Amino acid sequence: MSDDAGSKTAPKGLLDVLMMLETEEKSFTELKALDISPNTVLSRLREAQKKGLVEQKLFPVKGKKPRIKYVLTKQGKEVLTMFESIREKYVDLRTELQSLQEEVRKKEKEMKYLLSSTNVTSS
């Protein structure tokens, strides 16, 4: 197995990172308090930045170098609200999704039946 494949993991933590930034900006050190590996936190931050959900800002510290902190953007707040809403209503949404899938299966059977009966009629 290649090194690249070995370093790949299932995604986790984007929502945790966004939720952590919901109330106030955080530095990377503060975000490491999350129960996920620092590497994952960094990957999720980079991904969130790329998608415009999070941005870096410099915060002045008296007598010291300014600190880099991560801030949720307007788009990030919207996405977080949406994710939270899905989590809240997850059971209902899954039930609705399952009945939709059932309808799809029925429709597929109907169409298959129609196609096969058309073939019989035409032959």
Partner 1 sequence: MEHIILKIRGVLQNDGHAYINAFIACPQIERIAPIVFLVDLGATTTTILEGDCTRLGIDCDSLEKAPGETIVPSGRIETYILRDVTLVFETEGELEFERLEKVDVINPKIDSVLLPFSLLGIDVISRYKLTYSRNNGLTLER
Binding residue count for partner 1, defined by CB under 8 A: 36
Q: How far is the CB of 61 from partner 1 (least distance, A)?
A: 26
Residue 11 near partner 1 by CB under 8 A:
yes
Cβ proximity of 43 and 10 under 8 Å: no
The answer to whether 56 and 70 have CB atoms below 8 angstroms apart is: yes
User: Which of 1, 2, 8, 63 contacts partner 1 by CB under 8 A?
Assistant: 8
Asked if 28 touches partner 1 (CB under 8 A), the answer is: no
For partner 1, the closer of residues 22 and 108 by Cβ is 108
Judge whether 49 and 93 are in contact, CB under 8 Å: no
The candidate with the shortest Cα–Cα distance to 16, out of 30, 2, 1, is 30
Rounded to an integer, what distance in angstroms lies between the CA atom of residue 42 and that of residue 107?
45
- Pick from 19, 28, 40, 77 the residue near partner 1 by CB under 8 A: 40
Contacts of residue 76, Cβ cutoff 8 Å, sequence gap at least 6: 18, 21, 48, 52, 53, 54
Q: Is 79 in the site for partner 1 (CB under 8 A)?
A: yes
Residues in contact with partner 1 by the rule CB under 8 A:
4, 7-15, 37, 39-40, 42-44, 46-47, 79, 82-83, 85-86, 89, 93-94, 96-97, 100-101, 103-105, 107-108, 112
